[in-house]
Amino acid sequence: MAGARLDRARACCWARTSRAHLSNNLPFILAGGGWKHGQHLGFDVAKPYPLTNVYLSVLHRLGINRDKFSSSTGTCRGLEMT
């Protein structure tokens, strides 16, 4: 059934594992919604992506085309859609 509700569902999950309240190097899972699945994306630890780049990518996937979300520097490379 084309356009089924579950085909459009999205879920994200992350863990705040930093003791210093830093938001870099956090484990993050993004599922559903037409994303390319079955991959692990690792990024430069010395120059990490802002988490808001992931949020901006999700907004674009939802059809909300914004140039920026909070402190984002762009969309997250590697989050291709199917």
Instruction: Label residue 5 by pLDDT band (50, 70, 90).
Output: low
Closest CA to 79 of 50, 26, 39, 49: 39
d(CA 18, CA 7): 33
d(CA 49, CA 55): 11
Check residue 53 and report its DSSP letter.
Answer: H
Question: Model pTM greater than 0.75?
Answer: no
Is the per-residue pLDDT at 60 higher than 60? yes
Tokens of 79: 């989050």
Which pLDDT value is given to residue 67? 94
Instruction: Label residue 36 by pLDDT band (50, 70, 90).
Output: confident
Q: Note whether 51 and 23 are within 8 A (CB).
A: yes
